[in-house]
Amino acid sequence: MIEISNLRKHAKGDAVRLEARIKFLDMTSPYPEKTIYFELDKKYAHMFADDSYDAFILIPLWLAMLHKQDLHICGAVSKKLYHNVKWYVQKIFCDFCDALTPVNVTVDNFTDPPKKYGKIIGTGISGGVDSLSTIQDHFVNERDTHFKINALFYFNCGTRSDFGDEKWQETVSNRLASAKLAAKELGLPCYYLNTNLHAFRKMQDWTKVLYIANYSCVLSLSRAISSYYVPSGFNYQQMKKFGNRFRNNDMAEFCESYLVPLIGNERTDLILDGGQYRRVDKLKKIVDWDIAKKYLNVCNRYTADGSNCGACDKCLMTLLPLEIMGKLDDYAGVFDVEEYRTKAEDYKRQCVEKYGKSPFSTENVDFAKENNFIIGTSK
């Protein structure tokens, strides 16, 4: 059995931690960490949900299913989240990953119904195309305060970093600085939350589970957050057409359309946003926005200054539609455009070869055709 216990909020220098112990009772833990924690600037200590283990259930559930151990939470969990985990989430995890087995999940009790709700409507500011599209739609262009974003978040949970790797930490610091500058220009607060959830990546490919780490960060702040927009990677058609191709590979692209609505609790809703657009349409929507020109950041490689390398898959799939729109030079300040130019012909050829098989190659070929831009012998 895996047991989660000893939930506490405590000061750690200038930070405050929400922390719980994780204990493997019937096997030796293969992980060096003895606790799971979330960490914020101590000014924001009131945002942590220290009356609930909700933030400590998803990654432990994955580990329990992976190691074929039951999971017990020695404390209170949201009744809604527990119900969804017990009846639906485990089945989705099993469908996604062959290595997982259903387990028993038990809790001591349930959190009390909320007496008041947080006022934050938030989203992440990774600087990626999906994130900026959501911010543009639901902050810049949103008039209804019921839906309008009023805070941004940067979660250091392994989406673009390795736990304990100082080289990556430098990249995270540079990207955080850029996110804070963007938030300041937008006139929004930007909260940085650090966690050690990605220390539990040692036994598996982290891309499979990093999204549930991200959702867990939101749940850790459910005293403050009432709604949180989760920017989607795919549009609705791509979810249907390509979802199964990401089985055993990328959880968000496999199942986020039906997983995300199951993750909230009585205080916090997670809303999947952006499925109405292809990625190229999001890029077209934000391409002339000064915030995008200054802060667009999609790269998944290490760069010393945190900028876009211009050569990785994420950079290439962003730069090709920018070239198609004639906007490459507008983004020379944030991408290594010269590096892109050395890779572009090969990448375009690959897109044509992968047409119908890869979602982003397919939409880039379609986008070229829609704009009368020749990228080879495409349809």
Binding site residues, Zn ion, CB under 5 A = 299, 301, 309, 312, 315
Which residue, 185, 158, 164, is CA-closest to 295? Answer: 185
* Terminal-residue alpha carbon distance, the chain: 55
Q: How far is the CB of 336 from Zn ion (least distance, A)?
A: 8
Query: The sheet that has 71-77: what strands, in order across it?
Result: 105-110, 71-77, 2-12, 15-24, 35-41, 190-195, 151-156, 120-124, 225-231, 269-273
Smallest distance, Å, CB 274 to Zn ion?
A: 21
Q: Where are the alpha helices (DSSP H) in 70-118?
A: 79-84, 90-96
- Of 179 and 299, which CB lies nearer to Zn ion in the complex structure? 299
Instruction: Compute the distance between CA of residue 333 and CA of residue 175 in angstroms, rounded to an integer.
Output: 15
Q: Going by C-beta distance under 8 Å and a sequence separation of 6 or more, which residues neighbour residue 46?
A: 223, 224
Q: Name the residue nearer to Zn ion (CB basis): 142 or 313.
A: 313
Minimum distance from residue 311 beta carbon to Zn ion (Å): 6
Question: Which among 78, 76, 64, 71 has a CA at the least distance from the CA of 106?
Answer: 71
Q: How far is the CB of 295 from Zn ion (least distance, A)?
A: 15
- Which C-beta is closer to Zn ion: that of 2 or that of 322? 322
Rounded-to-integer distance, Cα 164 and Cα 199, Å: 8
Closer of 241 and 343 to Zn ion (Cβ): 343
Nearer to Zn ion, 247 or 301 (CB): 301
Q: What are phi and psi of 195, to 5 degrees?
A: -150, 165
Give the Cβ contact number of residue 165 at 10 Å.
12
Q: Give the alpha-carbon dihedral of 314, 168, 248, 231, to 10 degrees.
A: -60
Closest CB to Zn ion among 213 and 309?
Answer: 309
Nearest-approach distance from CB 160 to Zn ion, in angstroms:
10
Q: State which residue, 64 or 337, has the beta carbon closest to Zn ion.
A: 337
Longest dimension (CA), the chain: 62
Q: How far is the CB of 335 from Zn ion (least distance, A)?
A: 8
Provide, rounded to whole angstroms, the least separation between the CB of residue 250 and Zn ion. 17
